[in-house]
Structure 1
Amino acid sequence: MTDIITTAASYYLKCYLSPYTSKYEDLTICIRNLSERKHGALIVVERKDPLELLIRSNIPIGGTLSHSLIESIFFPGNPLHDGAVLIRSETVVSAANVLPLSDINVSDRKLGTRHRAAIGLTEQCDALVLVVSEETGQASFAISGALHPINVVAP
């Protein structure tokens, strides 16, 4: 049953992303590579709602979205790897961003700061946030205040 849920979530992820970036494949490759290496990541994809008032911006990037760029930002030890990356269309706008944390009750399962930040931002806007767990390598996405595991295995 879990495989069906993660496969369905992977399908919906593509549906949620494709209207907002043509670089969906780069994001998929990036998430798969980060997951395999257990490099934690937090990637915000802006959709219709502007995010300037919700995200505390840090380091401007302004580069074209590619899996290599995102993977290098989240390489352990990189000064930018602890915050979130903001993507608008095909551009990596900024890195090391701070997101609002969710106040959800986490007593039933342990959620790290990245996951709480992903949920927290999506409780307040329509952004989609991709998360890779540093401990397990599990990839997920948050939308509308809910977290969904995704299958990132190569086809």
Structure 2
Amino acid sequence: MNQPNCDSAPLKQTIKQELGQVIVSLQHSLAAMDAVEDCLLGDLNTIKEQFATIEIQAATFYLNCYLSPFTEKYPELSVCVQNMSKRRHGGLIVFEREDAIDHLIKPGIPIGAELTHTLLESIFYPGNPLHDGAVLVKSNRIVSAANVLPLSNINTGDKKLGTRHRAAIGLSELSDALIMVISEETGRISFAFNGSLHPISHGI
């Protein structure tokens, strides 16, 4: 849960090493194309899996970089999303950064309390009247819950992209906010930033 240095971190070094391994794999595949008897499908599938792993690691690293200047509650957030992921409790958490976003969302219920993982988890507990909307966080405080975000019209071709994910992407298209999503169907954790959705590891 320690915040990595965005300029120099073990995870960043690991990502660089694994990208190097992908380059080696690609060079091997290029060389193998000269051999008629070699089938590249297995190699390509392995490279695809390597890229997916690297994407998750990179997103986990940059998530912290994007959030650390705007909140000191990263450790609380980490505990919260890991617990929610394990229990498959859906959630939508908005972190306001430099852009004001009050005019972009339909306001919910004021909370006005310090961000803790127990409070966040209780808000998103199934059956809680506030669990369906988004929580708005400014700095180290939960401002409100049950907020409604603008939905994106993005067409990803992924039928599993639900309302929470479309809402996260929608707000990120209109502001520099960072929006975290926990899927209640799969337990997967992701975040939306600058109009794109990025999967992250459970151990953020």
Q: Please classify the TM superposition score into its range, dividing by the shorter chain length.
A: over 0.9
Determine the C-alpha separation between the residues in 1 that align with 2:158 and 2:172. 20
Residue 65 (structure 2) aligned to one of 3, 8, 15 = 15
Determine the C-alpha separation between the residues in 1 that align with 2:108 and 2:123. 13
Higher strand share: 1
Determine the C-alpha separation between the residues in 2 that align with 1:78 and 1:34. 14
Indicate yes or no: 2:83 matched with 1:33. yes
Q: Which runs of 4+ in 1 moved over 3 A?
A: none
Residue 4 (structure 1) aligned to one of 31, 37, 54 = 54
Displacement of 1:110 in angstroms is 2.4
Q: Which amino acid is the alignment partner of residue 89 of structure 1?
A: S
1:65-105 Cα deviation digits (max 9, x unpaired): 01111000000000000000000000000000000000011
Q: Which residue number corresponds to residue 117 of structure 2?
A: 67
Displacement of 1:145 in angstroms is 0.4
Q: Which residue number corresponds to residue 16 of structure 2?
A: none
Displacement of 1:108 in angstroms is 3.9
Indicate yes or no: 2:149 matched with 1:114. no
Q: List alignment gaps of at least 5 residues for structure 2.
A: 1-49
**Aligned Cα root-mean-square deviation (Å):** 1.0
Q: Which residue number corresponds to residue 77 of structure 1?
A: 127
Aligned residues: 154
TM-score by length of structure 2 reads: 0.74
Displacement of 1:109 in angstroms is 4.3
Q: List alignment gaps of at least 5 residues for structure 1.
A: none
Residue 142 (structure 1) aligned to one of 184, 189, 192 = 192
Instruction: Name the larger-Rg structure.
Output: 2
Structure 1 stretch displaced more, 99-108 or 85-94: 99-108
